[in-house]
Structure 1
Amino acid sequence: MKRPPLPVRRSLAEGYREAFTRLGRTLVVVAVVQGAVALVAAPLLVALFGLATRASGLTAVTTTTFGQFLRSPAGLAIAITSLVLVAAALLAQAAIFAFIADARLRDGGFTARGVARRLGERLSDLLRRPSTLLLIPYLVLVVPLGQAGIGSVLTRWIAIPRFVTDEIVKTPMLAIAYIVVILLLWWVNLRLIFTIPLLALTDMTAPRALARSWMLTRWRSVRVVALLAGVLVPLAIGSMILAGAALLPTLISDATVPDASLAVASLSLGALQVAVFFFVGVMLMVQAQTLVAALRAAQAWEDAPLTVAGPRRRVGRPLAVTVVTASVLAFGGASAAASGPLDEVADGATLVLAHRGFTASGVENTIPALDAANAAGADLVEMDVQQTADGRWVLMHDTDLKRLAGKDTSVGALTLAEATAITVHDEEGRTAKIPSLREYLQRADELGQQLLIEIKVHGGETPDYVEGLIDLIDEVDGADEHIYHTLSADVVDEFTRLRPDLTIGYIVPISFGGVPDTPASFLVLEQSVYTQQRRDDIWNTGKAVFVWTVQDEADMRELMRDRVDGIITDHPDLAVKTLEDVTGEKGLSARLADAVGRLIATP
């Protein structure tokens, strides 16, 4: 049986030709569609999620409060509505580009009214069908996690948290399984790449469109990759050219007129933001037109032509003038907004915390890793403690010993003597004994090393375990010599009740909404949760902000310039050096380069 053709070269040629020979109209489409998504849809959805949080009686939805959120009918209803709206907005965004692409390929023109009418008809038809719910997991999970093609700002927040992937890759089998799952999601995205164009341009239901795309791409994955690569590679090259053009004026200014560098860098970053907005939008139009051209070829081969057509009409001058005016205003606003962050200089006060010690030189949560972290210059060493079956305390992150010792048992099932007799190892072959908390505290005292002690809860603790832990630390080293944090809101409450004079933090791996309601002295944010706005909101409550697990040097520089109170990292040596480099740095080029890098990485 012959397979439908998916012509690569011809489809790409048609995609680029239609986008760039009518570049003015393409820019207007980008401004209207992408502007509506960025300035209307995205803020509206954020507001709806905030409303859902407040309707549940919460200030923020975290891993601890998620159960309460699910038990709130009002909050859950608003959240479900928000997810439906996310899917609808994603569908509408992609469908509009598909409508315009098809109309251009048919007769060269379209009208805004015609596109709006067709969009309304298709959305109305699809939303009446229960089977359309299949699009929610596809659009909200499979597409953003699979990362095939240019994505949407609406799903930028959907990703596997870095702390999860960091833990996964520490176990070889889990790392392999993770890679397989990601590749599988990517492949599924390739196979379903024509789903949205089919939904937009035919009267198919969601299940039929998904099945049809799957059929059209059977044994065609390489061609689909070629279609997407023909868009993504030029996108990457063009982005790098724009980045270089944005950096050059500030490099010159730093060398010749340093006092003008802040203004030059702000204007450059503002101009780059507008340029990237339009460039990515144009390439999104190219992607849509390329896919529609390939789909049209496949449908024509089977004598099942697409159905949408529109009368040819030029974009009205008033709309074009409005877009130009809005772009100029956006440039001014972006430049003004950029001056504040670019003017921030690291003050050297950010604490460097070694995550479970320095694991490049010792097994995590062991004495050798503590010694190495101290030698690397870490301000604090973060470590994990758990209670044993006999009410004592040892260092261990995982609740079981499979990863580090290859044993099918848990810390809570072992006595202190049994646990400390076990040898743990890492992937490099280093070994060490599991240390007791008493032993670890004594070594830290000898080194003069302050600790950040994470209190792990496995569910089998004694009723007075928090009090017992504090008493032990007081006995060995003085509980006020160290600081503490935990994932458990109950532990924070009990710890604060028993010893309000001590400093304890609340770990926030996932958070939506405002600042979590907690008596903790500081919040430990997972890196993907951190934003400057969230930092300011937390600071306004009088709490400090720590960020974990920060591994990349550019991320370290950004957070140090943001003057967060501490960063937790597996690379304390790099963090210490980076802090020295950025503290009091001169010139704007380095700061602008990092800002440009972040913008290009997540346009």
Structure 2
Amino acid sequence: MLNFGKLALDLIRRYPVKYNQNLKTGVLLFMNSLRNLKHASLEFFSHAKEYLTLFLVIDLVIEFGLVPLFGQFASFLLTQSAIPYLSYTNFLTIITQHPITALLLFSELCLLIYCVFLQFYVFLFGIVRIKQGNFSLKGLAIDLRQAIRAPRITSFIFFSVYFLLIIPFSGIFFKSPLLSKVVIPKFILEFLLQKPLYLSLIATFYLLVFILSIRMLFVLPLMFFQKLSLRQALTTSFSMTKKRFFFFCRKILLLASVSTVIYLTFFGLLYGLQYLLDRSPAWLAFLGATLNLSLLQVGNLAISIWSTVIFGTTMILPKINVPTVAVVKQKSWRFTKPLIGFSLILFLLSNAFYFADTRYKLPLIISHRGVNNENGVQNTLPALKKTAALKPDFIEIDIQETKDQQFVVMHDTNLENLAGINVSPQELTLAELTKITVAENGHQAKIASFDAYLAKAKAYKQKLLIEIKTTPNDSPNMLTDFAKKYGKMIQARHHQVQSLDYNVVTQIKKYDTTIPVYYTLPYNFIFPHTPANGYSMEQSTLNDSFVTQAKLASKQVYSWTPNTEDEFTSAMFLNVDGVITDNVSGVKEFYRSLTQDASYAKRLLDYTALLPN
């Protein structure tokens, strides 16, 4: 067998002398890191049952206890206060008109963050108990009770600020279902990344946060185990990481790389096996698919647990003077087999149902702003003609009121971006607006009136999803006038209405409850209770819990705006009713490929789009 370490050193000797030392040092460091990783992995596998028990118990308590409890309590608060939804658009209203509810919601947020703090605390003490050969659920309960009885407000405040800052990096080795909704919506990131100034500021901010996260790596462990004050822990952590930033970066990169390689290798083997099984009798292929997907889920969980434990045992705990924990006589393995068995049964049953239904439930395809892959200027008639030829289920457009109280098809509240004119649609008449040429993505077109767009859509037999944009300059009767003029026609041609403004939902429904109206939510906080027929939800914060609650409430859900295959797959598995996309041809081709290749191996591959979530 080849000795790769010796081979690498032999090759280095052939380089010029001035490079030899640096390369040799780098190879030695890398080999030493691999040896340490191997040693830590052997220790991990010798206590695999205990580690699996620790993480399964924590996840089950959070997933089936805390998450539903927090959701139900928040929903109860909103219902009792007659608040139909929670979004950034009505924060100020809730604070000013429902101060007690706002205070209780803020208290719940603090409690949620505190639970994440306790999860991290139990995670560290659980690893310590396992390493000291004294792991038990009863012992963990004692550790947790001590943390709750003697809380340090400074620890909690520091953790709240620190962890919220490092969320973009914390998910690599420490994840919490309690913070699953703490993400930056995709549309906000896309907007910011298009601006060079914002892009540079974001990059600088994240670089500083990452540097701070390394420098403060030991603050919480020092406060937990050595009972240091926040100031002492900060000083000690900065001292411990001084001139070692790249050392910790290398270790993190190595661990992340190894985890990725292990996962890809494991998945490749399962996919290859399933590819062969698909050529065997149907019952054997089905059985193999069910077992392989279950193995993939278990393997993904095991790799996640392994990387988290290795991170704690190789980067944090060896540098801390950890005291001996209290001895509690209770064998942890008694709980492991039932937990593993329960988890495997859930995996097997859900996977059997997944593969038993050989037909994909494909959501409606909705063109965002009437375009497909930049085939024209958004919300214009030439783009409508090209996109309607692809036959999407709906074409989504935006309309605004004009100075003379007509309606124009336009998304932006200012014409600067598309026409180079610093003016809003509300400042011009319909006749003035329709004379203006707008340009985008190398295309030009005239601004279209809503009536003209409706006429063309009728000619193309194209259904529309009409988003009503509102501004402070709109006329008082805008929504009533809209409903009177277009309500019957919308129903007759099977169009739909949506808006980011909740007032649109209530006013249209007040005029005629049969007009289909959707409420657009840019962020998924708490499931809303509104008279809307459904919800258009920003796809990066949409989850299965929201979709399930919507189905139970007989509401439809549109995902806004998935544009890649992984996002299409995720939306499909979430069982949404429609996707509002900029890539109509792409999603059509993707759905066509799904129906043509319904093999178990392909469906196994499709499912991997959900695993990172």
TM-score by length of 1: 0.84
Instruction: Find out whether 1:507 has 2:520 as its counterpart.
Output: yes
CA spacing shift, 1:209–1:436, aligned 2, 3 Å: farther
Fraction of identical pairs, as percent: 23
1:152 corresponds to which residue?
A: 175
CA spacing shift, 1:476–1:69, aligned 2, 3 Å: closer
- SS of 2:457's partner is helix
Deviation of 1:283 after TM superposition, in Å, equals 1.5
The superposition leaves residues 193-226 of structure 1 with CA deviations (integer Å, 9 ceiling, x where unpaired) of 3333233232223455345445544554322211
Deviation of 1:160 after TM superposition, in Å, equals 0.8
Contact 1:148 1:189 (8 Å CA) reproduced: no
Contact 1:192 1:210 (8 Å CA) reproduced: yes
CA spacing shift, 1:51–1:510, aligned 2, 3 Å: same
Give the superposed CA RMSD.
3.5
The superposition leaves residues 84-104 of structure 1 with CA deviations (integer Å, 9 ceiling, x where unpaired) of 344334334434454566788
Instruction: Find out whether 1:398 has 2:408 as its counterpart.
Output: no
The superposition leaves residues 344-391 of structure 1 with CA deviations (integer Å, 9 ceiling, x where unpaired) of 455676321110122521122222332232233322211111112332
1:41 corresponds to which residue?
A: 62
Q: Hey, what's the Cα distance between the residues in 1 that align with 2:31 and 2:207?
A: 25
- The code of the aligned residue for 1:144 comes to I
Q: Hey, what's the Cα distance between the residues in 2 that align with 1:103 and 1:522?
A: 49
- The code of the aligned residue for 1:153 comes to S
Deviation of 1:171 after TM superposition, in Å, equals 4.7
Deviation of 1:578 after TM superposition, in Å, equals 2.0
Higher alpha-carbon deviation: 451-460 or 197-206: 197-206
- 1:50 corresponds, among 64, 72, 75, to 72
2:120 corresponds to which residue?
A: 94
Contact 2:496 2:516 (8 Å CA) reproduced: yes
1:567 corresponds to which residue?
A: 579
The superposition leaves residues 509-551 of structure 1 with CA deviations (integer Å, 9 ceiling, x where unpaired) of 223444x222222322222343444334323333322221111
Higher alpha-carbon deviation: 562-571 or 88-97: 88-97
1:447 corresponds to which residue?
A: 460
Q: Hey, what's the Cα distance between the residues in 2 that align with 1:279 and 1:443?
A: 55
1:389 corresponds to which residue?
A: 403
Q: Hey, what's the Cα distance between the residues in 1 that align with 2:171 and 2:213?
A: 6
CA spacing shift, 1:59–1:209, aligned 2, 3 Å: farther
- 2:332 corresponds, among 298, 319, 324, to 319
CA spacing shift, 1:151–1:131, aligned 2, 3 Å: closer
The superposition leaves residues 105-160 of structure 1 with CA deviations (integer Å, 9 ceiling, x where unpaired) of 8xx655557776566555644x2435632321322x21223447413133233211
Instruction: Find out whether 1:576 has 2:597 as its counterpart.
Output: no
CA spacing shift, 1:208–1:453, aligned 2, 3 Å: farther
Q: Hey, what's the Cα distance between the residues in 2 that align with 1:337 and 1:477?
A: 40
- SS of 1:376's partner is coil
2:427 corresponds to which residue?
A: 413
CA spacing shift, 1:563–1:280, aligned 2, 3 Å: closer
Q: Hey, what's the Cα distance between the residues in 2 that align with 1:474 and 1:122?
A: 60
- 1:355 corresponds, among 368, 372, 378, to 368
Contact 1:347 1:563 (8 Å CA) reproduced: no
CA spacing shift, 1:439–1:333, aligned 2, 3 Å: same
1:300 corresponds to which residue?
A: none
> Any stretches of 5+ residues in structure 2 without a counterpart?
1-28
CA spacing shift, 1:198–1:207, aligned 2, 3 Å: same
Q: Hey, what's the Cα distance between the residues in 2 that align with 1:160 and 1:493?
A: 28
Structure of higher RCO (CA pairs closer than 8 Å, 6+ residues apart): 1
Contact 1:19 1:285 (8 Å CA) reproduced: no
Q: Hey, what's the Cα distance between the residues in 2 that align with 1:97 and 1:478?
A: 56
CA spacing shift, 1:523–1:99, aligned 2, 3 Å: closer
2:43 corresponds to which residue?
A: 21
- The code of the aligned residue for 1:491 comes to V
Instruction: Find out whether 1:61 has 2:86 as its counterpart.
Output: yes
CA spacing shift, 1:596–1:478, aligned 2, 3 Å: closer
Q: Hey, what's the Cα distance between the residues in 2 that align with 1:12 and 1:21?
A: 14
Deviation of 1:330 after TM superposition, in Å, equals 1.3
Query: How does 1:172-251 map onto structure 2 within 5 Å?
Result: 173-210=197-234, 212-214=236-238, 216-217=240-241, 220-251=244-275
The superposition leaves residues 439-489 of structure 1 with CA deviations (integer Å, 9 ceiling, x where unpaired) of 322332333322111001122210111133345547999874522111222
The superposition leaves residues 27-51 of structure 1 with CA deviations (integer Å, 9 ceiling, x where unpaired) of 2342233223211134333212321
- The code of the aligned residue for 2:49 comes to V
Q: Hey, what's the Cα distance between the residues in 2 that align with 1:565 and 1:38?
A: 30
Contact 1:545 1:564 (8 Å CA) reproduced: yes
